[in-house]
Amino acid sequence: MVRQANKAKLDKAHAATHGRLLDASAEVFAEVGFRAATVREICERAGANIAAVNYHFGDKERLYAEVLKTAYVRALHKYPVDFGLPKNATIEQRLEVFVRSFLLRVFDEGPHSHHGKLMAREMIEPTAALDSIVHTVMGRQAQAIMNIVRDLLGHSATEERCRLCGMSVVSQVLFYHNCRPVISRMFPTMKFGPKEIERLAAHITRFSLAALRNYSEATR
């Protein structure tokens, strides 16, 4: 009984340290990027021994890969691509929900909301950890917008056309996130809180629907 109690205590302590390392790493990587982050800074913030990263994750690279994946999965869990839409949802609803959930993920703030900053840094200085994300969770997102675009353009649309149009929708979301420092200076009254994101999602949806439908008509 004593041995089991001690093991349970050790397991709990192990899990707690593991979690603190993930949280501290997400903060540091989001602030300074993978290359500038140091294991010492991460361990100090986590209140852990300097050897803890190697013990729990193997090395800094594998820790970063776990942080990137965890942040992405948490963001998707909080703001799913389809937000539980029914199977009979209209194409307009599917597009609006895709855009809104994307905006909410990248602009999310508060605890465990490092996804937007981490991915923005990956776009500037990609690491090997991005490969796994691209071929798993990000790949499912890409397929979701491709399916929406294909339904709007018609199934005779080529794969290339669907891909380019899908990227055009996604690029609008990324513009507002990645160019936020410029936008905030150029238009100081423009905010990115929950209400503003709802309006922005509606605008991007209307703009994209008009463009895609016009594109579909023009290419028939």
Instruction: Write the class of the CATH domain 1-58.
Output: mainly alpha
Determine the pLDDT at residue 5. Answer: 47
Residue 155: predicted pLDDT: 82
| Domain 1-58 matches domain 65-218 at the CATH topology level | no
Domain boundaries, the chain: 1-58, 65-218
In the prediction, which pLDDT does 57 show? Answer: 93
CA–CA dist 108, 52 (Å, integer): 29
Cβ–Cβ < 8 Å for 39, 60: yes
Q: Are 56 and 116 in contact (CB under 8 A)?
A: no
- What integer pLDDT is reported at residue 220 of this predicted model? 56
Question: What is the reported pLDDT for 83?
Answer: 87
Residues of the chain where predicted confidence (pLDDT) is lower than 70: 1-13, 216-220
Measured CA to CA, the distance from residue 117 to residue 209 in angstroms comes to 28
For the domain covering 65-218, report its CATH number: 1.10.357.10
Q: What is the pLDDT of residue 12?
A: 64
pLDDT attached to residue 6 = 47
